[in-house]
């Protein structure tokens, strides 16, 4: 669609709104309240995580099963995603398209054979590491190691079956290695600029450039501790988001920037896990525990007007809201 002449409301309504990753706790029974808020906020697509290195790897399977059942039972509002066509159908029918992702290749239990299994079950994206180094390579709170031979094999298999390779939570060396190893565009679904705010979960310019050079996209994330130093109350959440978007657009070009909200409502399970797994969340980097400062999902649609007011064209805004990530998904999934 030609979006150039649309007003702000129509631009949002007529754009694909893509959340490359939300942070809902992967637990059975599912708590779908966050997903329902994402749908009501007007998103077209979201990827929700079904497992991460912090939990036993086998636990992903009952979570996937619960999502598949729940999505089937709520087909009046949600569509499970196999390919980009499902996202376009969701937009047409006013539903939320949902796919699944995994954070950390520990979920593969040491074998690339499981990549295709997860793909068949609806997983469309894997980020290799969750903060701490694992058998795939280096995490952002690890020793800045790079991709291992196993990690390289996993990328080859993901490229083959059609899954997005995600460099979030990785070390700087790791995400650059991943960009070099992948034959398809990679993504960094939820991270902000480390130049603007030096938190290890954010990415340096070289990482953003490596991702973009594959044709990939970086998702700006709505977690306050990754947006600015604690106590920076001068800027609104929206201003902080726009600052990071603006910076990355100037660095790598607006066609390589999108949104990965990491949105979730904090559950008791998540709070107690933070307490127990301090090796994944070193307290010096997570001083407020499990309350990372999740920005309300309802704030994100306001980016349309905020970016437009900064002089971004409708085409560019629509790309950041979702078309950029959808382009890269199509190149990987089809
Ligand atoms: Zn994450």
Sign of CA dihedral 137, 262, 325, 198: negative
Percent above pLDDT 90 for the chain: 88
Residue 262 alpha carbon to ligand 1 centre in Å: 7
Q: For 209-261, what is each residue's pLDDT tens digit? A: 999 999 999 999 999 999 998 776 678 999 999 999 999 999 999 999 999 99
Two tokens, residue 329 = 């998904």
Number of H helices, E strands in the chain: 14, 9
Residue 307 CB contacts under 8 Å (≥ 6 apart), including other chains: 242, 245, 316, 317, 320
pLDDT of 194 above 80: yes
**213 CA to centre of own chain:** 19
Residue 140 alpha carbon to ligand 1 centre in Å: 11
Q: For 20-73, what is each residue's pLDDT tens digit? A: 999 999 999 999 999 999 999 999 999 999 999 999 999 999 999 999 999 999
Q: For 152-179, what is each residue's pLDDT tens digit? A: 999 999 999 999 999 999 999 999 999 9
Residue 311 alpha carbon to ligand 1 centre in Å: 31
pLDDT on residue 260 = 98
Residue 137 alpha carbon to ligand 1 centre in Å: 16
CA neighbor of 319 nearest in space, from 203, 217, 250, 240: 217
| Buried-exposed string 133-163: b where 16+ CB fall within 10 A, e elsewhere | bbbbbbbbbbeebbbbebbbbbbebbbebbb
5 vs 332 pLDDT, higher one: 332
Residue 48 alpha carbon to ligand 1 centre in Å: 10
Pick 8-333's CATH classification: 3.20.20.140, 3.40.50.720, 3.40.50.300, 3.10.20.30.
3.20.20.140
pLDDT on residue 287 = 83
Residue 268 alpha carbon to ligand 1 centre in Å: 18
């Amino acid at each position: 669609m030609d979006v150039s002449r649309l007003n702000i409301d129509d631009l949002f309504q007529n754009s694909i709104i893509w959340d490359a990753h939300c942070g809902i706790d992967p637990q059975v029974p599912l708590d779908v309240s966050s997903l329902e808020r994402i749908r009501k906020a007007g998103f077209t697509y979201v990827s929700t995580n079904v497992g991460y290195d912090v939990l036993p790897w086998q636990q992903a399977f009952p979570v996937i099963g619960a999502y598949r059942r729940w999505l089937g039972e709520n087909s009046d509002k949600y569509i499970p995603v196999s390919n980009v066509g499902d996202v376009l159908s969701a937009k047409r029918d006013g539903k939320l398209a949902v796919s699944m992702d995994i954070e950390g290749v520990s979920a593969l239990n040491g074998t690339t054979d499981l990549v295709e299994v997860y793909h068949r079950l609806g997983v469309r994206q894997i980020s290799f590491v969750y903060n701490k180094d694992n058998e795939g390579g280096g995490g952002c709170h690890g020793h800045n190691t790079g991709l291992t031979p196993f990690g390289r094999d996993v990328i080859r298999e993901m490229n083959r079956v059609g899954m997005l390779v995600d460099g979030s939570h990785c070390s700087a060396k790791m995400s650059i290695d991943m960009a070099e190893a992948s034959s398809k565009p990679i993504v960094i679904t939820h991270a902000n600029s480390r130049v603007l705010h030096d938190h290890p979960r954010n990415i340096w310019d070289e990482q953003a450039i490596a991702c973009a050079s594959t044709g990939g996209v970086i998702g700006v994330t709505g977690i306050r501790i990754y947006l600015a130093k604690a106590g920076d109350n001068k800027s609104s959440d929206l201003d902080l988001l726009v600052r990071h978007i603006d910076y990355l657009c100037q660095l790598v070009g607006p066609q390589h920037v999108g949104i990965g909200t990491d949105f979730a409502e904090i559950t008791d399970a998540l709070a107690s896990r933070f307490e127990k797994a301090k090796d994944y969340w070193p307290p010096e980097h997570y001083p407020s525990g499990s309350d990372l400062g999740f920005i309300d999902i309802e704030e994100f649609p306001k980016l349309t007007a905020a970016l437009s007011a900064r002089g971004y064209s409708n085409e560019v805004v629509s790309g950041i809201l979702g078309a950029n990530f959808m382009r890269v998904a199509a190149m990987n999934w089809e």
